[in-house]
Amino acid sequence: MFIVRQRYVLGDSAMRRMAHSNVLIVGLGGLGIEIAKNIVLAGIKSLTVLDRRICQIQDLGTQFFIRQEDVDDKKTRAEASVDRLAELNPYVTLKNASIEISQETDLSFLKEYQCVVVTETAHSLLQRIDDYCRQLNPPIQFIAGEVSGVFSYAFCDFGPEFTVVDASGEEPKECFIADITKGNPGIVTSLDNTMHDFQSGDTVTFKEIKGMESLNGTRQKIKVVSPYSFSVCDTTGEEFQPYQTGGIAKQVKVSTVIKYSSLQDQMINPRVPLVDFTKDAVMSHVAFCSLHRFRDQHNRLPKPRCDTDLEGLLQLAEEINEKLKIPVPSIDKDVLRHLADTCAGHFAPLCAAMGGVIGQEVIKAVTGKFTPINQWLYLDASEVLKGLGNVSPEVLEPKGDRYDHLRICIGDEMCLKLADLKLFMVGCGAIGCEMMKNYALLGVCRSPNGKMTITDNDLIEKSNLNRQFLFRPRHIQKPKSTTAAESCKEINPSLNIEAHQHKVHPATEQSTYNDAFFEAQDVVVNALDNVEARRYMDIRCVTNQKALMESGTLGSKGHVQVIIPHLTETYGNQQDPPEQSVPYCTLKSFPATIEHTIPWARDKFESLFSQKPAMLNKFWMVHGSPEKVMEKLKSNSRLEHILMVLKLMKNRPQSWQECVAAARIKFERYYNHKAKQLLSSFPLDSRTKDGAFFWQSPKRPPTPVEFDTNSELHMMFIRSCSRLIADYCGIPYTENDTDKDNIVDLLRDVNVPEFVPSNKKIVTEETENKPETTTEDDITDEDIAKAIRDLKHLQDNGKTSEACLRMIPAEFEKDDDSNGHIDFMTSASNLRATMYSIETADRFKTKRIVGRIVPAIATTTAAVSGLVTIELIKYIQGCVLDDHRNAFLNLALPTVMVSEPAPANKIRIKDEMYFTDWDRWEVHGPAGYKMQDFVQYFKDKYKLTVSLVVQGTKMIYVSMLPGHKKRLKQTMVELIKPADGIRYVDLTIAFEIEDEEEDFDADGDLPAPPIRYFFDV
């Protein structure tokens, strides 16, 4: 449970390898502690930390596990951190190494570790450690990293050769086959013009091909021909018979070997990926190499705004650049100056970002899962320095407090602006916890003028603990928001936080999070996990002209989007691709993949154990006693759901034995009779109207499942289904009752009905939707007569007591393994898969899909939170569009790409008149202001004629409707009818097209920005 969401990302084998790994981290400053936190949450076997530095006051601004008392007690950074790190994950062993590592240290102690991470260490010592790790057999995976001011790097050397078992970590792709040609090479075409999503160089295997059977079971390295076809081997030989039908191509994960060079070699021939298209990554490499050499030569760092030190750094950079295999064309003096000015500080959000990246590299090193960095990664936030201009060195000088590292990076004035900030954050889950940790380190909202408002209506669950690092086991079932606030104040007691437990949605739009609330904020931050909530927050921020910092993660992937009024596009400008819906007939009768059988099982759970019991409860709550219902039926009242309710009551079990019998009958109906009915309606030799075989790919003919008490899968279904039936009927049972032997005994007496073919129509067209439920209008006189008979029968048999009129609907809970919910859905899905010869899924995959669990890992969350916090600081500084960066990252590959946000979307009204999504026109109407005054206002000011005025969904004025002409003489108050105290309303309007040459939509309207109409008194 503790690592459930991470397991969805890494898989079982990687988790097992990680649980046997020992890691050493040298240096527990801002970067080191981020790496340590992330890999402890990930679940390695043991972590040893090594840092003999004494805690200093400035450490409080980057190291979230150091407290003021640790500074006062002169503890080492490792001593202060090790117990708090251990609290993050009880399954990880934490050790504090007492050794001092230096050029003279015997490095043989490193042999007990699979991975060594070194931060805040001189370059010469880094090189010595790397050389030692490489020469061992097997080598130790070596990682170095550093955050110097607003610049950072990561370096990986996993030995001469490193095997990657799964380069991407994605689920293997597969596609159904429509055709395979005989040729050299043979061309495989996917079914129904569906994109196969393979890439050239992928290895695929084949199954279920008819005709060219010799391809089945083989592995083929493919080359993509088009999005719908790819080539395989030479299929011209006699062993390859002509293709007939069917077949599935499935991607095979193949191990790859990556060769690494030593740190010494990489200094002059660096492999540096592109992160930011506006920056030269090799220049960053040159700058860091120069800094390392400067520190080795002078035993200190360059001084900020010191021309002499800058010239020395420039000279070193020129010398280093000359030795590079591929030098930069010219040295960028600004990069060197920015590095020299800030290198004595450590920018906390950059520590978070790079700590997430390096934390993921540690996981790769010990598991072989995902593609490691090969071999450098440079990341900087130098844009935050543009607001400093040519300030004096005093602005950047430390003051002896916890914000010294930040002050060196962004100046004292920006530190004070952050302190005075009024910030609203929605969500206190994984990203929210990381954000708040960053804010605590930065001192955001710490002054009496500042205020951080946070809200989250969720409680803390055990499964949250491996990625929501502000929470501990003692916090389970406590509110996320108040707990996060308390934990953050342990990091920085001066924070001014107000924690809410409300949901931000239309229901709280007038009461709590109204326009006045948003107008009081300086910036809004999303820490959400669903698109719907993001869209709503985007609309609220656009309406109230507030900047929104948007971010999210999905496993190893993450994004950052900066949304700034009148500067950038909004979240709504980027439409997410629509979710692929599965046709009703596929789910109901013709599943082809496990992704079809799992939703079917979830639907069965909801229908059987939640919806139907809830429907019964509602029916009797609405209609009263059975006697009253009988009266209504006799008066020919058509009561919706009456037949289904009475059927539920008639079949309601009265004992545990009857629950077992009901489960056994459902098994027969779902997995035996259903298959027989399909084969009865569509025999194996059936053909469609055009002469093609009915049962051809992707349709798979079913095979009736014969119940077997020796099958663990069959018994899992009976046990879980019996329990759920007993639960909604309120029938008690014991653990002994659910024992296999006892259930088998009860099953001997079950009268299983024989299969009888039905004439019921089976939906076969993919365009047909699920049939609508029966309504009052569908109930016939015959149905009423039957309902009267059934109800009378129930009354005569004593089945209409108060207890019989109530059921207990199940509320799906994915995280309680004892309730049988996931067991039912796993067994129900896999039985259906077995019936259709589909590969089954384990309980874990089923749980992920039915629980709609978003895969999550701490490393991605940390990286994303760091990047979006950097953008927050840029916004407070007033940076221009060119200085902001949206980001997309996939730490599995690894890919980190940042780019300038798109500008605000411009919408043309006519001629050279435009507006953006951020624009809002305001109209102030005094008492007696009429609709004709409103229309005339736009005529006078913009030379536009209003054709439409809408408030929400209410039509206020439509010029083309004759009856609306009289509304022109009515006042706006009469038409809108505002509630007492309402100062304004937001209206949607449109303008008439007066120039026939204007090319707009056929509805004849010109667009307009939103209108805020004020009722001026």
Q: Is 949 exposed, middle or buried (0-12, 13-18, 19+ CB in 10 A)?
A: buried
| C-alpha span between 155 and 268 (Å, rounded) | 14
CB-based contact 851:843 (threshold 8 Å):
no
Residue type at 175? C
Q: Are strands 422-426 and 451-455 parallel, antiparallel or unpaired?
A: parallel
| C-alpha span between 710 and 712 (Å, rounded) | 6
| C-alpha span between 841 and 472 (Å, rounded) | 32
| C-alpha span between 29 and 35 (Å, rounded) | 10
User: Do the domain assignments include residue 290?
Assistant: no
Is 997 found in the same domain as 915? yes
CATH code of the domain covering residue 637: 1.10.10.2660
User: Do the domain assignments include residue 292?
Assistant: no
Is 739 found in the same domain as 628? yes
Is 971 found in the same domain as 953? yes
CATH code of the domain covering residue 133: 3.40.50.720
Question: In this predicted structure, what is the pLDDT of residue 996?
Answer: 53
Six token digits for residue 993: 């097209």
Structural domain that includes position 364 = 4-164+261-277+346-396
Helix (H, G, I), strand (E, B) or coil at 193: helix
- Per-run averaged pLDDT (10 residues), the chain, 1017 residues: 61 84 98 98 96 97 98 98 96 95 95 97 96 97 98 98 94 95 97 92 96 96 97 96 96 95 97 94 97 95 92 97 96 96 96 98 96 97 82 75 96 95 97 98 98 96 87 94 97 98 95 96 96 95 97 95 97 75 88 96 97 96 94 91 94 97 98 97 93 92 97 98 98 96 96 93 79 64 91 92 95 89 98 97 92 85 98 96 96 96 95 95 95 97 96 94 94 94 94 66 78 91
Q: Of 894, 917, 942, which one is at a domain's C-terminal end?
A: 894
Six token digits for residue 527: 């820490």
Question: In this predicted structure, what is the pLDDT of residue 1001?
Answer: 47
CB-based contact 454:497 (threshold 8 Å):
yes
| C-alpha span between 133 and 446 (Å, rounded) | 45
Instruction: Provide the H-helix boundaries in 682-751.
Output: 712-729, 740-747
Return the beta strands (E) in 174-228 as ranges: 174-180, 187-190, 203-207, 219-221, 223-226
User: Do the domain assignments include residue 326?
Assistant: no
**Host H or E run for residue 563:** strand 557-563
3 state SS for 901-963 = CCECCEEEEECCEEEECCCCEEEEECCCCEHHHHHHHHHHHHCCCEEEEEECCEEEEECCCHH
Is 862 found in the same domain as 814? no
| C-alpha span between 477 and 403 (Å, rounded) | 34
Is 657 found in the same domain as 511? no
- Spatial CB neighbours of 532, under 8 Å, sequence gap ≥ 6: none
Residue corresponding to tokens 């360059």: 302
Is 232 found in the same domain as 106? no
Q: Would you put residue 432 in left (φ > 0), alpha (ψ -120 to 50) or beta?
A: alpha
User: Do the domain assignments include residue 769?
Assistant: yes
Backbone angles phi, psi at 458, to 5 degrees: -90, 160
Residue corresponding to tokens 């004494």: 54
Question: In this predicted structure, what is the pLDDT of residue 462?
Answer: 85
CATH code of the domain covering residue 913: 3.10.290.60
Is 779 found in the same domain as 819? yes
Is 369 found in the same domain as 235? no
- Spatial CB neighbours of 979, under 8 Å, sequence gap ≥ 6: none
Number of domains in the chain: 5
Angstrom distances, CA of residue 327 to CA of 27, 99, 286, 318, 340: 31, 39, 9, 10, 21
Q: Are strands 151-157 and 161-164 parallel, antiparallel or unpaired?
A: unpaired
Q: Which of 96, 869, 1013 is nearest to 442 (CA)?
A: 869
Q: Is 298 exposed, middle or buried (0-12, 13-18, 19+ CB in 10 A)?
A: exposed
| Percent helix, strand and coil across the chain, each to the nearest 5 | 40, 20, 40
CA R_g for the chain? 34
Helix (H, G, I), strand (E, B) or coil at 66: coil
Helix (H, G, I), strand (E, B) or coil at 783: helix
- Among this protein's residues, is 585 annotated catalytic? yes
- Spatial CB neighbours of 575, under 8 Å, sequence gap ≥ 6: none
Is 866 found in the same domain as 802? no
| C-alpha span between 470 and 434 (Å, rounded) | 8
Is 570 found in the same domain as 487? yes
pTM of structure = 0.91
Helix (H, G, I), strand (E, B) or coil at 992: strand
**Host H or E run for residue 23:** strand 22-26
Q: Would you put residue 557 in left (φ > 0), alpha (ψ -120 to 50) or beta?
A: beta
User: Do the domain assignments include residue 831?
Assistant: yes
Q: Which of 460, 468, 424 is nearest to 444 (CA)?
A: 424
User: Do the domain assignments include residue 994?
Assistant: yes
**What is the DSSP-derived secondary structure letter of residue 672?**
I
CB-based contact 187:229 (threshold 8 Å):
yes
List the catalytic residue out of 433, 488, 585, 879: 585
Is 494 found in the same domain as 356? no
Six token digits for residue 863: 């990286």
User: Do the domain assignments include residue 498?
Assistant: yes
User: Do the domain assignments include residue 691?
Assistant: no
For residue 989, the cross-strand partners are: 949
**Host H or E run for residue 984:** strand 984-992
Q: Of 235, 252, 269, which one is at a domain's C-terminal end?
A: 252
Helix (H, G, I), strand (E, B) or coil at 976: helix
Is 45 found in the same domain as 10? yes
Q: What is the DSSP string of 279-311?
A: S-HHHHHHHHHHHHHHHHHHSSPPPTT-HHHHH
For residue 210, the cross-strand partners are: 245
Q: Which of 553, 605, 503 is nearest to 851 (CA)?
A: 605
CB-based contact 125:295 (threshold 8 Å):
no
Q: Would you put residue 475 in left (φ > 0), alpha (ψ -120 to 50) or beta?
A: alpha
**Host H or E run for residue 1012:** strand 1011-1015
Question: In this predicted structure, what is the pLDDT of residue 780?
Answer: 85
CB-based contact 134:159 (threshold 8 Å):
yes
